[in-house]
Amino acid sequence: MIKLDLSHAKLNESPSVWKDKVAELDAALVNKTCAGSDFTGWMTWAQDYDKEEFARILTTAKKIQDNSDVLVVCGIGGSYLGPRACIEMVNGLYPMNQKVEVIYTGNTFSSTYINQVMEYIKDKRVTVNVISKSGTTTETAIAFRILKQFMEDKYGDEAKDRIIATTDRARGTLKALADKEGYETFVIPDDIGGRFSGITPVGLLPIAVAGISIEDVLKGLGDGMKEYGSANIDENPSYQYAVARRILQNQGYDVEMFVEYEPQMQKVAEWWKQLFGESEGKDGLGILPDSAVFSTDLHSLGQFIQDGKKVLFETNLYVDQPPVDFPFPSDKENLDNMNYLAGKSIDWVNKMAAQGTLDAHENTGGVPNIVLTMPGMTAYDFGNMCAFFFKAIAMTTLLNGSNPFNQPGVEVYKKNMFKLLGKE
């Protein structure tokens, strides 16, 4: 369970004051009477997921582990950030024990990047998982056409057994193409939007291929939905966080810096930015989601946070028990003068850096700090964290009077781009 500490947040009122409003909006969310309630399937997904499909995901993942060196995930936004966040958080950036490498394309128009992916996979045993709910996303469609031709050239008839489509149950170009070609397909549920879909087959297949327990992801999600399930704000840390954000924005803070101390959680921050930015940034409202990995970014952004314009508050996501820790070695000669740390654990140093930074930013810099602590970096923790942030973003956006589950703003650039590209 994620723990919340608001004692450094400089709130000028207690979140409890918002109790009645929160209870009212929670009822609207649970009873599906809130704006966008057609897209709240994530709330009961941990129980309601299709068990037959789940078994098929496990079988398919095993097959890929046996016959492939690389899984190419072809998707963008909600159709790739969830699995990438989970895989990197749990397995790390240079995983030693992952049977199949997972790499990503379909998330850019960069010819250089797309070409580099194709060069990288050309002599490897490859499976492709193309992921798109609409089936028409241009970044994904461009990369997939190139991948499809590559797979057909490389594997002939066998290509169809090495391409898997995760898409809408019945509609869309990708579904029609997959049916025609005879690809295995998995379903993105109608009632779960892109940025909430990492817990569905969108995430579950790549995560399982990476050797991570998807049973644990769903267990963490289900437990989280209970732990952050109370309508009473005093018993619900997710809702306290949701309200604290609103209070801080009322106090003039329009930017939230999401801070982590684990480099392998950087994609969790990207996932969080999409979840929060796309859900809340509408109707001329919202807090701009930004992120940093400390202590790395203390050497770049630290100056601004400490002494710059007071536009932001920080939300720190600490990890209580990282999967690995070890002592700093002693050195007989001590030429680097580092022996004062000999025998101390590296994670202890990381935690002291976090404590010192919190104190500097809060007390000298005057920056409000919210502190969240997750127990570890396991598959279970990932699922549980999803529940925490899903509930929080739904509540904090409803408090603005906006629909948390649509994204009308992302269509505008597409219209302009299609015109320039000459799309009918």
What residues act catalytically?
278, 299, 414
| # residues near ligand PA5 by CB under 6 A | 14
- Round to whole Å and give the CA distance between 382 and 380: 5
- Round to whole Å and give the CA distance between 352 and 355: 5
- Round to whole Å and give the CA distance between 99 and 65: 6
Closer of 195 and 246 to ligand PA5 (Cβ): 195
Q: Using the rule CB under 6 A, which residue among 195, 273, 282, 391 binds ligand PA5?
A: 195
Q: How far is the CB of 140 from ligand PA5 (least distance, A)?
A: 5
- Round to whole Å and give the CA distance between 56 and 144: 23
Strands (E), 52-133: 70-74, 101-105, 126-132
Q: How far is the CB of 153 from ligand PA5 (least distance, A)?
A: 25
Instruction: Name the packing angle between helices 237-250 and 19-30 (round to 10°).
Output: 120
Q: Using the rule CB under 6 A, which residue among 134, 138, 213, 339 binds ligand PA5?
A: 134
Instruction: Enumerate residues 6+ apart whose C-beta is below 8 A from 72.
Output: 103, 104, 105, 117, 121, 126, 127, 128, 129, 147
Beta bridge partners of 293: 260
Contacting range for ligand PA5; rule: CB under 6 A; set: 28-36, 63-71, 129-137, 281-289: 129-137
Residue type, 24: E
Spatial contact of 195 and 279, defined as CB atoms under 8 Å apart: yes
- Round to whole Å and give the CA distance between 19 and 24: 9
Q: Using the rule CB under 6 A, which residue among 79, 291, 315, 350 binds ligand PA5?
A: 79
Closer of 318 and 390 to ligand PA5 (Cβ): 390
Binding to ligand PA5 (CB under 6 A) within 59-78 occurs at 76-78
Closer of 188 and 301 to ligand PA5 (Cβ): 188
Closer of 6 and 174 to ligand PA5 (Cβ): 174
Contacting range for ligand PA5; rule: CB under 6 A; set: 121-129, 132-140, 215-223, 394-402: 132-140
Q: Using the rule CB under 6 A, which residue among 133, 162, 175, 361 binds ligand PA5?
A: 133
Binding to ligand PA5 (CB under 6 A) within 254-313 occurs at 278
b or e along 85-123 (b: 16 or more beta carbons within 10 Å of the residue's beta carbon)? bbbbbbbbeebeebebbbbbbbbeeeeeebeebeeebee
- Round to whole Å and give the CA distance between 32 and 327: 51
- Round to whole Å and give the CA distance between 379 and 199: 11
Closer of 288 and 360 to ligand PA5 (Cβ): 288
Closer of 204 and 312 to ligand PA5 (Cβ): 204
What is the pattern of x (binds ligand PA5, CB under 6 A) and - over residues 139-158?
Answer: -x------------------
Q: How far is the CB of 172 from ligand PA5 (least distance, A)?
A: 8
The verdict on 8 binding ligand PA5 (CB under 6 A) reads no
Q: How far is the CB of 167 from ligand PA5 (least distance, A)?
A: 8
- Round to whole Å and give the CA distance between 415 and 305: 37
End-to-end CA, the chain: 50
The verdict on 394 binding ligand PA5 (CB under 6 A) reads no
Closer of 129 and 407 to ligand PA5 (Cβ): 407
Write out the residues near ligand PA5 by the rule CB under 6 A.
76-79, 132-134, 137, 140, 193-195, 278, 407
